Structure 1
Amino acid sequence: MGRTVTAVITSFCFQMAYLMAGYYFTATENYDIKWTMPHCVLTLKLIGLAIDYYDGRREAKALTSEQQQFAVQGVPSLMEVSGFSYFYGAFMVGPQFSMTQYHKLVRGELTDVPGQRPNSFVPALTRLGLGLFFMVLYTVVAPYIPEEYLVSDAYLEQPFWFRCLYILIWGKTMLYKYVTCWLVTEGVCIITGLGYNGKDDKGRPKWDACANMKVWLFETTPYFTGTISSFNINTNAWVARYIYKRLKFMGNKLLSQAVSLLFLAVWHGLHCGYLVCFQMEFLIVIVERQVINLIQDSPPLATLASITILRPLFYVIQQAVHWMFMGYSLVPFCLFGWEKWLKVYQSIYFIGHALFFTLLFAMPYLRKVLVPRKEKLKKVE
């Protein structure tokens, strides 16, 4: 089909249909390790390759700087596509990278010492060590907070505060298995050179081109958007590059974001829990941004938030709310079937949906009360 829109659409439809068929015929109500896990990674790679190949025929002035960076100019051979698709450091759980980046690796350009192998052993070992640390942490803690307990009668008999606290701790710990996988595979990418990302202002090499985790940000941010920015970075960047930004013609950022999250939900699998999880993410991010803007625009709230002695207290409260509702969103993501996650949500009275939908609808009225008219006029200007 050549470098045509037809090729892009056909590739997208075929790759997604094949993946959906795999999910349909193999999925169970449990978390399964089977061929569909690496295949969902491959699906994104091949869709991205088709789009980058299409961009290779377009005029440079018609492309953004990012699209110019990833556009594939030549015709990749079968060997190149195979190497790109099944690169041992990323084919199982990611990270995502482009064909142009893989070409640079093969040509020996991804190195801090031109003409020689990269000095990446120590940075790679550091990420491996960090990954092993989280692996041990997850292995030790996870047996004490199993997700099966969420749907047990014993859980339902606990007081409301305990049920909420359990979801908070469980959600935080459950994510460490993903953190472990991504840190270890990032170490593999670094040691081959694929993680090389140029040099910083001081001339020191950077090895974060394949980073799927910003560990410090992940552990310290009190914001939902901060967690999203620090978690599964390359997949999020892929969706932003090939889905969200390509929907610019729709003329609505919010709609583009909704479609992108819908794609992510379907890409993860056919269970309804994925849709509920990403719907909650969409809702929480919208409300969080509105709350932040409200605090900044409201003099009383801004003054209260700036009191130094109260900041540690605000931080603790933010973190508790942050991880409670992060765990709340992850319940359907991990329990899959509606009869399971619905049982958990009923046990805590759908507190996440109730709170964030209430804030969403109350925000216009809160702004009327808390934001002076002159501040509103400045915002409009």
Structure 2
Amino acid sequence: MAAAGGSLLHWAAEALGASEPALRLILSIFIGYPLALFQRYFLFKKQPSHIHLFNTVTGICIAYFNFGSQLYHSLLCIVLHFLILRLMGRTVTAVLTSFCFQTAYLLGGYYYTATDDYDIKWTMPHCVLTLKLIGLAFDFYDGGKDKDSLSEDQKLNAISGVPTLLEVCGFSYYYGGFLVGPQFSMCRYTKLVNGQLTDVEGQKPNSIRPAMERLSLGLFTLVIYTVFGPYLPDSYFLTEEYANQPFWYRCVYMTIWGKVMLYKYVTCWLVTEGVCILSGLGYNGKDDKGRHLWNACANMKVWLFETTPLFTGTIASFNTNTNDWVARYVFKRLRFLGNKAISQSAALFFLAIWHGLHSGYLICFSLEFLIVTVERQAMELVRDSPLLSRICSMSLLYPFLYVIQQSFHWLFMGYPLVPFCLFTWDKWLKVYMSVYFVGHVIFLLLLFVLPYLRTVLVQKKDKLQKSH
């Protein structure tokens, strides 16, 4: 039966023009909807142990369907993590041990399984699990500290009790977040299990409509990627045909490719967010107007992603859950260093190696840091210049400026994504050479020129004020 099932999936994957692991991943994400419906209708307010067991068994089955016997990697890390917390208690030693062990295990997995292409292997969900378990260690440690010494985030996520092994397994293998995220705390998971995440107290959450809205949006982005993705393959960058195209064509291809390529991630996150909403995990209380919110597990701010002309806007709208995790457990925890730049660099370095050991990840995040720095300097220059501020505020020029800014924005969003997708230095270097390192040149030049212009502008303003 297994062989027949594998053959059927292989045939279906070939018919769809996809790989069998990719088809298994997509099916596993969508299977979350019937599982969430079952939990919503039959497990709401039931024994917590039954819900933990359901989440553990379904998650393990999904792991086995995708990765076979290699699911032992996740089981081993979960059990050892549980033992670290129980034996070492709420100590800094436990946090450091869990952080080092989980990170080292993930990097070891990358080292032994990495190829020059993007492969769907056990390391893909394991990177999600790594963050989840490290966050659990921090939250368990915070639960033993004086509440007055904790930040609001830490108070919200601190674990006061001692989790059981079954609870940790249910939290880790929850079907709505095991494969591609999102990240959520043990406290949120416990509230889900206890039936607290609902818009009607004591009753099942009215989660079907908001879940279907995210699913529909996810299916729409899936259609966009399925239709246009095959015409914009990563491999085209490495062909002689691309190298022989006019410079403007190479830049335009990079721009459109970067936008479309991101839709495969957008699709996965929107569909899994729908699963989380349907089960109740996505419920996030009410807003200022009393409307119920279902965005607790959102990993995408779709409207901002589609409309922002700013690099910072795209970064703030994309993979927000992971960005929040890194800010909470890496950036803010390094506050004792007393240097924001060092903390930010360390957070970006961790984010880069968390994605993998290929040089492309380091180059990508380094370039994004450079681009964001330059963009902030440019915005400060516009703010301090009366002439530039006046031009930018002219409603007649706004559509024209918006189109130019969006074109520039997406060209240089696609630019750092090249090494992110091509991984190895020989590949991304070839592409950058073909476009004459245009992004590096422009942004390194602006990095030095913009502060100089702003300094000159400020000096002129000071002279004018003194003369008056």
Q: TM-score, normalised by structure 1?
A: 0.97
1:106-255 matches, cutoff 5 A: 106-255=193-342
1:250-269 matches, cutoff 5 A: 250-269=337-356
**Is 1:15 paired with 2:94?**
no
Structure 2 contact 377–451 (Cα < 8 Å) conserved: no
Q: TM-score, normalised by structure 2?
A: 0.79
Of 137, 142, 146, which residue of structure 2 is paired with 1:59?
A: 146
Query: Per-residue CA shift, 1:111-142, capped at 9, x if unaligned?
Result: 00111110000000010010001001100001
DSSP-derived class of the 2:199 partner: coil
Query: Per-residue CA shift, 1:225-269, capped at 9, x if unaligned?
Result: 100110001000000000011111111222211110100000000
Relative distance call for 1:377 and 1:286 in structure 2 (3 A) is: farther
DSSP-derived class of the 1:308 partner: coil
Relative distance call for 1:376 and 1:346 in structure 2 (3 A) is: farther
Q: Which residue number in structure 2 is paired with residue 102 of structure 1?
A: 189
Query: Per-residue CA shift, 1:57-85, capped at 9, x if unaligned?
Result: 11011111111110011100011100110
Residues of 2 paired with 1:275 and 1:161: CA distance?
Answer: 27
Which amino acid is the alignment partner of residue 142 of structure 1?
A: G
Structure 2 contact 242–250 (Cα < 8 Å) conserved: yes
Which amino acid is the alignment partner of residue 249 of structure 2?
A: F
DSSP-derived class of the 2:396 partner: helix
**Is 1:349 paired with 2:410?**
no
Residues of 2 paired with 1:221 and 1:209: CA distance?
Answer: 22
Of 298, 317, 321, which residue of structure 1 is paired with 2:385?
A: 298
**Is 1:47 paired with 2:128?**
no
Residues of 1 paired with 2:247 and 2:463: CA distance?
Answer: 40
Q: Which residue number in structure 1 is paired with residue 421 of structure 2?
A: 334
Residue 41 (structure 1) shift: 0.1
Residues of 1 paired with 2:349 and 2:292: CA distance?
Answer: 37
Which amino acid is the alignment partner of residue 196 of structure 1?
A: Y
Query: Per-residue CA shift, 1:193-248, capped at 9, x if unaligned?
Result: 00000012232210000000010000000001100110001000000000011111
Relative distance call for 1:372 and 1:59 in structure 2 (3 A) is: same
Question: What is the Cα-based RMSD across aligned positions, in Å?
Answer: 1.3
Q: Which residue number in structure 2 is paired with residue 313 of structure 1?
A: 400
Structure 1 contact 277–333 (Cα < 8 Å) conserved: yes
Residues of 2 paired with 1:301 and 1:77: CA distance?
Answer: 60
Which amino acid is the alignment partner of residue 263 of structure 1?
A: F
Relative distance call for 1:376 and 1:130 in structure 2 (3 A) is: farther
Which amino acid is the alignment partner of residue 55 of structure 1?
A: D
Query: Per-residue CA shift, 1:28-47, capped at 9, x if unaligned?
Result: 00000010000000000000
Residue 161 (structure 1) shift: 0.3
**Is 1:270 paired with 2:370?**
no
Residues of 2 paired with 1:11 and 1:145: CA distance?
Answer: 41
Residues of 1 paired with 2:173 and 2:437: CA distance?
Answer: 42
Residue 316 (structure 1) shift: 0.7
Which amino acid is the alignment partner of residue 166 of structure 2?
A: M
Residues of 2 paired with 1:354 and 1:371: CA distance?
Answer: 26
Residues of 1 paired with 2:119 and 2:368: CA distance?
Answer: 24
Structure 2 contact 210–277 (Cα < 8 Å) conserved: yes
Which amino acid is the alignment partner of residue 293 of structure 1?
A: E
Which one has a bigger Cα radius of gyration?
2
Which amino acid is the alignment partner of residue 131 of structure 1?
A: G
Residue 372 (structure 1) shift: 4.8
**Is 1:26 paired with 2:113?**
yes
Query: Per-residue CA shift, 1:167-216, capped at 9, x if unaligned?
Result: 00000000000000000000000000000000122322100000000100
Segments of structure 2 that go 5 or more residues without pairing to the other structure are 1-87
Residues of 2 paired with 1:180 and 1:339: CA distance?
Answer: 30
Of 174, 185, 208, which residue of structure 2 is paired with 1:87?
A: 174
Segments of structure 1 that go 5 or more residues without pairing to the other structure are none
Residue 377 (structure 1) shift: 12
Q: Which residue number in structure 1 is paired with residue 18 of structure 2?
A: none
Which amino acid is the alignment partner of residue 123 of structure 2?
A: T
Which amino acid is the alignment partner of residue 53 of structure 1?
A: F
Residues of 2 paired with 1:348 and 1:191: CA distance?
Answer: 46
Structure 1 contact 294–371 (Cα < 8 Å) conserved: no
Residues of 1 paired with 2:237 and 2:166: CA distance?
Answer: 48
Query: Per-residue CA shift, 1:275-308, capped at 9, x if unaligned?
Result: 0000001111111111101100111111111111
Structure 2 contact 199–285 (Cα < 8 Å) conserved: yes
Percent identical pairs in the alignment equals 68
Residues of 2 paired with 1:83 and 1:325: CA distance?
Answer: 41
Which amino acid is the alignment partner of residue 169 of structure 2?
A: S
